[in-house]
Amino acid sequence: MQVKSFEEYKEAWRKSVEQPEQFWEEIAGNFQWRKKWDKVLEWNFKEPRVEWFKGAKLNITENCLDRHLEKNGDVPAIIWEPNDPTEDHRVLTYRQLHDKVCQFANVLKNNGAKKGDRICIYMPMVPELAIAVLACARIGAIHSVVFGGFSAQSIADRIKDAECNIVITADGSFRGTKEVPLKSVIDDALVQCPSIKRVIVLTRSHTPVSMIKGRDVWWEDEVKKVETQGNPECPVEEMDAEDMLFILYTSGSTGKPKGVVHTCGGYMVYTGYTFSNAFQYKPGEVYFCTADIGWITGHSYIVYGPLSQGATTLMFEGIPTWPNAGRFWDIVEKYKVNILYTAPTAIRSLMSFGDDVIAGKDLSSLTKLGSVGEPINEEAWHWFDEKIGHGNCPIVDTWWQTETGGFMISPIAGVTPTKPGYATLPLPGVQPILVDENGKEIEGNGVNGNLCIKFPWPGMLRTTYGDHERCRQTYFATYENLYFTGDGCLRDEDGYYRITGRVDDVLNVSGHRIGTAEVENAINMHSTVVESAVVGYPHDIKGQGVYAFVVSPGKHGDEEITRKDIIMTVSRIIGPIAKPDKIQFVSGLPKTRSGKIMRRILRKIAEGDTSNLGDTSTLLDPAVVDEIKAGAL
């Protein structure tokens, strides 16, 4: 599946465009199917309807676990580094992981789970999270993982939207010096969620929890029951290629997050192929992705992609800056990590601690580096290249999205010549196109436009859960017959792609997608707030910061207290990741006569660039702009 030279890459890409079905059929041949497909691809972007490997039968866990057992059962599948470096680490070989997944799959069955059920997972970064995910996949239940930093309200919204019947969680999680009481957050969420019949709780932090009779059970007790029942195996559920594998919620430009749906066959082929090819993974290499399984990066490139390729994947429970800012480098040294895949925000944060924290760390095992989540600025790229890669490690700057399932535009390590700040070229099978506002293709090089994809790829989303029309509207209706990414993009003189950032109302804060409307809705819940407008501004570490303009005539007395209250409200409604960095109180927002907020003006003010605010004559009350300008933070 790997191309070994730039020539081979170009050849593979050409073939993938000219004969996409043959191209993907060959790739799919590297996986294990219970039954082969009747047809490789059926599609139309109008509905949209996209079906890959139709008629094929498989189970993704057979590809991620069972098929490695005979030859590679003793190879480490998961290495786990705990939050506290003085606690013992864990290694699970493929055989051990297989057994634990079977065991927990039987726990799920004992608790009434069956094919097609939606199961919400809200857990710390411990091996049991990967086990829970795989156990769902094994029995054909659809997992919906919710990142451990989301609030009770966000969890409740997601559980209700997907009508989940089971939650898998833990008593609590460790993040640096903090302890997050996960079970207690779940209890708050479940007040609103009558569909939940069972909560399975893993012991991790020994935080006191309240267990509700008839609803809540301990993970460990349930595993014991399975052991005494003496059924260590759990045969896989045979899935159709187009059966749902999981739902993952992501923010868009409206207030309500969307449940992006991925299916079994195409997603497996796409994540396995892109992992193997872009990282040029070789057996025996230790691969460390610093993301959380609560995001798509963790789904595709901690769990499914690496495991389907028999790789050794390292999971880290903690944070990059605890006990100190050298933690990543200690982990690299401890496990002789070969491939490190991280995010620009982490790189920038670690850069800011100076070179002392890297001094003396043995990073010589590293051969390949990766970046994901947001455009990487050149300074961070060079630091990563020089200080971490010592100039010897190709950097794969992987551009992709929750919706794309896997890498789309990315260098192939050691094959594609790289350029700082560029995701470079489309992987084989990916057909990007730049269009103008009207959807007209912008041809040639040295041009800017909105990034679309014009042909399906196996890892693409199939729908948004429970609301197919929303999927069509969001991704397939802006430009006819194209998938619209929401990103702006430059194609330079060499035909290389550089992502310039979102062109919709979605912020990218520390690599996390946050909808401005979502934050506004949360701010507006505060009792003194009439309305608000949220925009992004450049932030040294986070990439983008959250700037909120808030109309709050009812605020009494101390502005600072109201500010803190608003931040608390956002934390409670969405989660700490969406907290505004700056809150400016204003008497009104710049609106057109038809009542539309002129975000363009607010963005400029937030960026500190007020020299040219453009035409403000269409505003209902132009004077408000001067007031906002004067009070800018």
What residues make contact with ligand WTA under the rule CB under 6 A? 250, 295-297, 372-375, 397-402, 423, 485-487, 499, 502, 508, 513
Indicate the residue among 117 and 374 with the shorter CB distance to ligand WTA: 374
* Sign of the torsion formed by the C-alpha atoms of 564, 568, 569 and 571: positive
Complex with ligand WTA: residue 255 or 488, whichever CB lies closer: 488
CB of 166 to ligand WTA, least distance (A): 26
Phi, psi torsion values for 404, nearest 5 degrees:
-85, -15
CB of 432 to ligand WTA, least distance (A): 13
The answer to whether 597 touches 552, Cβ cutoff 8 Å, is: no
Cβ of residue 134: shortest distance to ligand WTA, in angstroms? 21
Q: Which lies closer to ligand WTA via its Cβ, residue 37 or residue 381?
A: 381
CB of 451 to ligand WTA, least distance (A): 8
Nearer Cβ to ligand WTA (154/297): 297
Q: Tokens in use for 157? A: 């919204």
**For ligand WTA, the closer CB: 422 or 455:** 422
The residue (of 239 and 296) whose beta carbon lies closer to ligand WTA is 296
Q: Shortest approach of ligand WTA to residue 604 CB, angstroms?
A: 21
CB of 420 to ligand WTA, least distance (A): 12
Cβ-count burial 126-138 (b if 16+ within 10 Å, e if not) = bbbbbbbbbbbbb
Q: Supply φ then ψ for residue 124, to 5 degrees.
A: -75, 170
The C-alpha atoms of residue 196 and residue 174 are separated, in whole angstroms, by 26
Cβ atoms of 106 and 234 closer than 8 Å: yes
CB atoms within 10 A of CB 555: 19
Smallest separation, CB 541 to ligand WTA (Å): 16
Q: In whole angstroms, how close is the CB of 401 to ligand WTA at the nearest point?
A: 4
Query: What is the closest distance, in whole angstroms, from the C-beta atom of residue 148 to ligand WTA in the complex?
Result: 16
Distance of CA 554 to the CA centre of its chain: 38
**CA–CA distance, 468 with 244 (Å, rounded to integer):** 14
- Residue number with CB closer to ligand WTA (129 or 296): 296
Shortest distance, CB of residue 93 to ligand WTA, whole angstroms? 29
Closest to ligand WTA by CB, 272 vs 375, is 375
Task: Closer to ligand WTA by CB, 51 or 374: give it.
Answer: 374
Environment class of residue 283 by beta-carbon count within 10 Å: exposed (0-12), middle (13-18) or buried (19+)? Answer: exposed
Instruction: Report residue 241 as tokens.
Output: 């290629």
Report the SS3 class of residue 522: helix
Q: How far apart are CA 149 and CA 152, in angstroms?
A: 10
Contact 274, 459 (CB under 8 A): yes
Minimum Å gap between C-beta 528 and ligand WTA is 32
DSSP string, 269-325: HHHHHHHHHHTT--TT-EEEE-S-TTSHHHIIIIIIHHHHTT-EEEEE-S-TTSS-T
Q: Please give the backbone phi and psi of residue 499, each rounded to the nearest 5 degrees, phi first.
A: -80, 130
- The distance of closest approach from Cβ of residue 273 to ligand WTA in the complex, given in angstroms and rounded to an integer, is 16
Nearest one of 563, 568, 564, 532 to 550, comparing CA atoms: 532
| Burial (0-12, 13-18, 19+ Cβ within 10 Å), 584 | middle
Of residues 198 and 542, the one with the C-beta less far from ligand WTA? 542
Whose Cβ is closer to ligand WTA: residue 148's or residue 375's? 375
Element (H, E) at 379: helix 378-383
CB of 475 to ligand WTA, least distance (A): 11
Q: What is the distance, to the nearest Å, from the Cα of residue 572 to the centroid of all Cα atoms in its chain?
A: 21
Nearer to ligand WTA, 94 or 279 (CB): 279
The helix or strand, by DSSP H or E, that contains position 132, with its residue range, turns out to be: helix 127-139
Which amino acid, one-letter code, is at 458?
Answer: P
One-character DSSP codes across 353-377: T-GGGTTT---TT--EEEEESSPPP
178-180 and 57-58 beta bridge pairing: unpaired
Helix then strand then coil, % of the chain, to nearest 5:
35, 25, 40
User: Which residue's CB is nearer to ligand WTA, number 165 or number 349?
Assistant: 349
Residue 157 phi/psi, 5° resolution?
-60, -45
Cis amide leading into 124 (omega within 30):
no
**Residue 499: CB minimum distance to ligand WTA, A:** 4
Q: Which is nearer to ligand WTA, 28 or 509 (CB)?
A: 509
State the nearest-atom distance from the C-beta of 512 to ligand WTA, in Å.
7
Alpha-helix runs per DSSP H in 472-549: 516-524
Nearest residue (CB) to ligand WTA, 250 versus 280 = 250
